Structure 1
Amino acid sequence: METTLKNKKILITAGPTREYIDPVRFISNESSGKMGYAIAEALHNLGANVILVSGPVSIASTFPNHKTIKVMTGNEMYLECQKHFDSVDIAIFCAAVADYKPKTSSEIKIKKIENEVVLELQKNVDIAFEFGKLKTVNQISVGFALETNNVLENSIGKLKKKNFDLVVMNSPNLNEGFGFDTNKISIIHSDLSTHNFPLKNKKEVALDIISSIKINLRSKQKIGEVEIKRIA
C-alpha cells in the first residue's frame, strides 16, 4: 500500500533570518529559500496541510500566501514554530537560521565614528534542537546540513544531537545550494544508511526528499503495527 502524505500536518522552515545590529544593518547568510519553498510546493500539491514559516526571501512561489508565516529573526521563527510543534506529523527544518545574533541591538542607526568597532554576539536559538527535545515517536523531523568539510561526520553529529529522523547533506559548491536552482544532496537516515543523489533541479530534489520521508513514515507505521499486535 502506497504511503500518502495527504492531510498530514507538516511544518517547514525556509530562507535566512536577519539578526539586526541597528534598524538598517543585520547579520544574515546567502540562503535564498528556494529549497524550502520547493518542498512546500510539492507537499501542498500532494494534499498535505503545510505550514510554511519563512524568513525574508525574494522568490516567486506557487505556495499559497495565506499558509505562509513571514518572519525576520531567528527568535521570531522559533516563536511561530513553537505554536505548531505539538500538532504536526512532520517538521522539515530547511531554514538557514543565523547561529549568532548581536548581544544588543540599537534602536537608531549607529553612526560611523571609530576606525574599529567591537560587535558582541550571542548564540541564537537552535530551533531544530529545541524541537528535537519535544519530538514524539510518532513525529518525523528532517534537518539540513550544509558543510564545507567533514560533511558526513558533522551531519551524523547533527542527526544525533537534534534527534532528526533524516538529514539532507550538501556543500556550497558551484551550482549547488545557496542561491542556485540546482542542488546535489545526500540523505542520511537514523540508522546511518546514506543515499546519494546527482545534481538536480531543486524541484526534483524536493521530490527525492519527500520520497525519503515516505520511507521513514512507512517504517514508523510498521513499527506501530507490530506494537499493536503485541498489545493485542
Structure 2
Amino acid sequence: RGARVTLVAANTALAAPAGVDVVPVSSTAELREALLAAVADADAVVMAAAVADFRPATYAPGKIKKKDDAEPEPLALVRNPDILAELSADRARAGQLVVGFAAETDDVLAHGRAKLARKGCDLLVVNEVGETKTFGAESSEAVVLGADGSETPVPYGPKEGLAHTVWDLVAARLA
C-alpha cells in the first residue's frame, strides 16, 4: 500500500518481507525499546502479536536437572510491561493510530470491548482462540472494534482478508 514499514519481530523463522525494515528482538524489554524508537515518526502502530503477560523472575544459567525424587522449586513470575497500553497512552505524535490484537477464549466481544477501553488503542482486532481455533492457522475470523464504538466483523477466511480489512480501517482513519 506504499507505506514505509518497520517490523519489530521476535522468535520468528519467517523470511523478512521485501521492502520492510526488520528489527529482530529476543525479549520483551528489547521489544519495548525497539518499538519506542520505531514509533517516533510512525503514522500507525500495529501490535499484531501479543507479548506474554508474565516472565520468569529469574533465569537459570543452564538446564534445571532432576534431583532424586524431589519436585522442582515453583517458578516465580513477574509482570511484563504492557507495551500496547504504554504506546496508546503516550502517543509519539499527534494523530498517531494504535491498533492492538486480542485473543480471547470466551465472551469474546465483552472481553474485547473491556480490553479496548483498558488499553486505550484506536482499533482492537479480537478473535476467539481455542482447541480448534489456533494461532498459526491459515484462516481466521475476527471482529475489529473501534474506540469510536464501531464493530467490523471479518468472516472466516484466509488471514490476508483480515489483514486487508485492518489496513482499510487504518487507512480510512488516517485519511
TM-score by length of 1: 0.69
Q: Deviations over 1:141-196 (max 9, x none)?
A: 00111101121122112212222111101011466450101110111111212111
- Aligned-partner Cα distance in 1 for 2:54–2:46: 21
Residue of structure 1 equivalent to 2:87: 131
Matched, 1:106 2:63: no
Q: Deviations over 1:96-137 (max 9, x none)?
A: 211100011122222222324210000011111111121144
Question: What's the CA shift for 1:216?
Answer: 1.9
| Greater relative contact order (Cα < 8 A, sep 6+) | 1
The unaligned stretches of length 5 or more in structure 2 are none
- Aligned-partner Cα distance in 1 for 2:20–2:162: 25
Residue of structure 2 equivalent to 1:57: 12
Superposition RMSD on alpha carbons, in Å?
1.9
Decide which structure has greater helix share: 1
Change beyond 3 A, Cα 1:60–1:202: farther
For 1:154, what is the secondary structure of its paired residue? helix
Q: How does 1:16-165 map to 2 (within 5 A)?
A: 46-60=1-15, 63-64=17-18, 67-113=21-67, 114-135=70-91, 136-165=93-122
Decide which structure has greater strand share: 2
Question: What's the CA shift for 1:95?
Answer: 1.5
For 2:155, what is the secondary structure of its paired residue? coil
Residue of structure 2 equivalent to 1:41: none
Q: Deviations over 1:18-47 (max 9, x none)?
A: xxxxxxxxxxxxxxxxxxxxxxxxxxxx11
Aligned letter for 2:164? L
TM-score by length of 2: 0.89
Aligned letter for 1:213? V
Matched, 1:181 2:107: no
| Residues 7 and 23, structure 2, Cα contact 8 Å, conserved in 1 | yes
The number of residue pairs the alignment matches comes to: 172
Residue of structure 1 equivalent to 2:164: 207
| Residues 74 and 124, structure 1, Cα contact 8 Å, conserved in 2 | yes
